[in-house]
């Protein structure tokens, strides 16, 4: 089977490795002339790590990623710790795989280096597709063409493959924008930022901090409620002074971290309803192309990794490609829809205004973490315990 993949991001590269592992032939077409070295940190929870381990990438992940000691929540203004739940060793014990923080560029490098030569073709931007009989033809913006038995659209949140199959989407602005930055840990006072996955909550805004690249970098994401600007591109530069003003009310760890930023990026957070269908004939979608989700469960990249494994297994076990794609969609949609809706429900959870609302929301979390700490992990069991490789 010859598979064509549009998109050389995390989902597309993982899909290529899964397809190769299942015995298929595959070519990935990425529109950029080089894989990006930019971006920021992402979280790979145990359910995604299980796939990467099956692909033989554990040693590469261990060598470059950071494993957080705990999951914490703190008040942004005072720094007061609301709870701290062990994660480093507990992830292995409870879920059977580590929990990683990794720079997006590092993960792309690991995935692309694992591909055979000439599997990845750069500078090939998707323009259109046609299906006829038992083949799919893809035309690129430079006029060149490629032929295969199927096409996997892994071309992200603004997927051109999805738009050709099902028309334009209808995103809804959530009223939130996100800031991101990465700074060297050496530029900060030692132990200023906890070696944990930390959520800093505050009125109308929250921040997330964690380490990357063996602890050499600190990643920051800040989400602020706003009615105005609505640009969705996550590569757009932002104004450091504007971001600093958004978090000026937060405590010293956050303000000191922001003060060390040399550049920042921002993007508006949009929500989308789950697609009715992912596939048409010999073409299907994967990852953000079919189930883009808000970042509040940190599952966007992980769901794409899971998709890749399940799709490759269906194509291995079911001879007819359209039937395999239908089976893939039927297995994945309930889980990804639950993740999409779960992330949506988290919107605003960390932005409570006023002491009464904060006590009503965070007080039970504080109490539960002290009396029954396992309950915090239990809320994530449906995500992290899942193993698509079984």
End-to-end CA separation in angstroms for the chain: 23
Q: Is the dihedral of CA 232, 234, 235, 239 positive or negative?
A: positive
The C-alpha angle 163, 167, 169, rounded to 5 degrees, equals 80
* Alpha carbon distance 284, 151 (integer Å): 7
6 contacts 29 by C-beta, under 8 angstroms: yes
Write b or e for each residue in 3-32: b if 16 or more Cβ atoms lie within 10 A of its Cβ, otherwise e.
bbbbbbbbbbbbbbbbbbebebebbbbbbe
Nearest to residue 14, comparing CAs of 42, 65, 55? 55
| Structure letter (DSSP) for residue 354 | S
Q: Is 384 a catalytic residue?
A: no
Q: Choosing from 95, 99, 100, 210, which is the catalytic residue?
A: 210
363 by DSSP, 3-state: which?
helix
Report the DSSP beta bridge partners of residue 198.
Answer: 72, 209
Nearest to residue 17, comparing CAs of 311, 287, 288, 289? 311
Beta strands in the chain (DSSP E): 2-6, 25-30, 41-44, 70-75, 81-86, 100-103, 120-122, 126-132, 135-140, 145-148, 150-153, 172-184, 197-202, 205-212, 217-225, 237-238, 264-271, 283-285
Return the percent helix, strand and coil in the chain, to nearest 5. Answer: 40, 25, 35
Active site residues: 210
């Amino acid at each position: 089977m010859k598979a064509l993949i549009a998109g050389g991001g995390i989902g597309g590269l993982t899909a290529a490795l899964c397809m190769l592992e299942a015995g298929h032939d595959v070519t990935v077409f990425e529109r950029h002339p080089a894989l990006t070295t930019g971006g920021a940190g992402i979280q790979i929870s145990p359910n995604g790590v299980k796939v990467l381990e099956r692909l033989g990438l554990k040693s590469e992940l261990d060598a470059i990623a950071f494993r957080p000691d705990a999951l914490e929540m703190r008040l942004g203004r005072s720094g007061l710790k609301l709870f701290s739940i062990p994660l480093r060793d507990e992830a292995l014990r409870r879920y059977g795989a580590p929990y990683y923080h990794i720079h997006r560029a590092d993960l792309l490098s690991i995935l692309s280096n694992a591909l055979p030569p000439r599997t990845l073709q750069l500078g090939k931007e998707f323009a259109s597709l046609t299906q006829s009989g038992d083949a799919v033809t893809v035309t690129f913006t430079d006029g060149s063409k490629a032929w295969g038995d199927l096409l996997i659209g892994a071309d992200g949140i603004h997927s051109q493959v999805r738009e050709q199959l099902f028309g334009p989407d209808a995103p809804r602005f959530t009223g939130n924008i996100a800031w991101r930055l990465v700074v060297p840990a050496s530029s900060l006072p030692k132990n200023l930022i906890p070696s944990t996955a930390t959520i800093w909550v505050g009125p109308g805004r929250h921040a997330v901090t964690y380490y990357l690249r063996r602890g050499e970098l600190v990643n920051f994401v800040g989400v602020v409620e706003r009615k105005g600007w609505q640009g969705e591109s996550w590569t757009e530069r932002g104004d450091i002074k504007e971001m600093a003003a958004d978090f000026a009310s937060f405590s010293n760890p956050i303000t000191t971290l922001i003060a060390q930023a040399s550049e920042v990026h921002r993007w508006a957070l949009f929500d989308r309803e789950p697609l009715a269908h992912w596939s048409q004939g010999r073409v299907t979608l994967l990852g953000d192309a079919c189930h883009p989700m808000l970042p509040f469960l940190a599952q966007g990249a992980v769901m794409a990794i899971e998709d890749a494994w399940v799709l490759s297994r269906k194509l291995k076990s079911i001879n007819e490609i359209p039937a395999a794609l239908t089976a893939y969609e039927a297995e994945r949609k309930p889980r990804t829809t639950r993740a999409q809706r779960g992330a949506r429900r988290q919107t605003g959870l960390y932005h409570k205004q006023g002491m009464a609302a904060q006590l009503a929301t965070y007080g039970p979390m504080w109490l539960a973490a002290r009396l029954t700490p396992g309950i915090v992990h239990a809320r994530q069991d449906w995500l992290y315990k899942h193993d698509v490789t079984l």
